[in-house]
Amino acid sequence: MMKDVVENAVWTKTQALIQDKYGKRIAFKTIDLANSAMPSFLEGDDLIVPLNSKAVYLGEVIVNRGSLLSTQQRDEVVDLIKFLVEPHVYNKHLKLKEEIEAYKRHASMEAIEQTDDDNVFSLFNDEEEENSLVRIINSVIHLRSTSALIRKKVALKIHEMAQQNLFVGFNEIARQMHSVEEFKTFDKTTFFIEDITQLNSQELALLDAACELKLDGLVFIIGSSLSDKQIDVLRVSSELKADMNAILFDIDRLPFAQQTSTDVLELLFFSTSNSTSQN
């Protein structure tokens, strides 16, 4: 698993961010259960950041000579690692678990082709896309921040990176629409909801229905300052709530300089060809 983590684009770009901003190298270590409950700690000159997600211990990131960073810099480095690397490693863990269970089920069948064993060795090899275009991973993106201004700045950055044609306020469009079918007339358009709590019941229903269409080229960027529990009581479908909780950028958790970083946004919301992950 260690090789799969450190050779992935998420790790490579996180490492580059920390190297460029703080001048520190990072490494990944998979076993040290004794320290798994600690948020972060110093070990000699190094800063150790344990990775935990949903009560699963995933390993540690070692920041070489991290003790020389200021307290603020340490906090920023820990936030970057927790925000970018931890979910990435947890996803690797889940994929490995799923593949192992699938392999066990397959192995219990009477006839097993010898070539099936090859699947075990390629669990974490990212499949190479035939084209090298950067593509957005989901048509719904949730931007959480207490600042409406920063939400819009990040939304505009994502729109630009996705190479969309139009960036429009959802509220303005919603007032002119009579049916959700009218969304099918738009091409490569980003619809920005500055604050979902400001939508009335009719606008919420239209947003819900439009997101459910999942039309190619349409992206809905939803802004809010809502907690996960507050999202759960929104008057929208469970699918939209799930998207808002899963495809989420918790902007205020990152240092200001990283909040509109192309590298961070690419890691969170875009898929690229395998060539971009090689270093």
110-119, 192-201, 255-264: lowest mean pLDDT where? 110-119
- Cα–Cα–Cα angle for 26, 28, 33, nearest 5°? 130
User: Using one digit for the tens of pLDDT, what is the confidence trace for 116-154?
Assistant: 554 544 444 444 444 444 688 899 999 999 999 999 999
Domain annotation covers residue 131: no
pLDDT, average across residues 42-71: 83
- The answer on 230 and 112 residing in a single domain is no
Residue 25, domain CATH? 3.30.450
**Model confidence at 255, in pLDDT bands (50, 70, 90)?**
confident
The whole-number pLDDT of residue 218 equals 95
Are residues 147 and 85 part of one domain? no
Q: Is the pLDDT of residue 197 over 80?
A: yes
3-state secondary structure of 139: coil
Give the closest residue to 222 by CA, choosing from 151, 132, 119, 279.
Answer: 151
**20 and 106 co-located in one domain:** yes
CB 159 within 8 A of CB 220: no
Within-domain flag for 132: no
What is the CB-side half-sphere exposure of residue 48 using CA atoms within 13 A?
A: 19
Let me know whether 165 and 250 are in one domain: yes
Same domain, 17 and 43: yes
pLDDT-derived band at 101, boundaries 50, 70, 90: low
For residue 24, give the nearest of 40, 51, 47 by alpha carbon. 47
Confidence of residue 173 (pLDDT cuts 50, 70, 90): confident
- The last residue of one of the domains, among 121, 146, 172, is 121
Tell me, what CATH number does 142's domain have? 3.40.50
Cα–Cα distances in angstroms (integers) from residue 279 to residues 49, 62, 65, 86, 276, in the given order: 24, 20, 23, 21, 8
Q: Domain of 28?
A: 2-121
Domain end marker among 96, 121, 146: 121
Given a cut of 50, whether residue 275 has pLDDT beyond it is no
Average pLDDT value over all residues in the chain = 80
User: Comparing 254 with 111, which gets the higher pLDDT?
Assistant: 254
- Same-domain check for residues 142 and 271: yes
Residue 73 and residue 157 in one domain: no
CA distance 75 to 77: 6
3-state helix, strand, coil in the chain (%, to 5): 50, 20, 30
Give the pTM: 0.59
For 15-27, write each residue's pLDDT tens digit.
Answer: 888 888 889 888 8
Tokens representing 170 are: 């959802």
C-alpha span between 9 and 209 (Å, rounded): 34
Examine the fold and report which residue of 75, 92, 121 is the final residue of a domain before the chain moves on: 121
- Number of domains the chain contains: 2
Domain membership of residue 126 (yes or no) is: no
Residue 162 sits in the same domain as residue 211? yes
Are residue 107 and residue 197 in the same domain, yes or no?
no
Q: How confident is the model at residue 30 (pLDDT cuts 50, 70, 90)?
A: low
105-124 pLDDT per residue, tens: 665 565 455 445 545 444 44
Q: Are residues 215 and 242 in the same domain?
A: yes
Q: Does residue 49 belong to any structural domain of this protein?
A: yes
204/247 same-domain check: yes
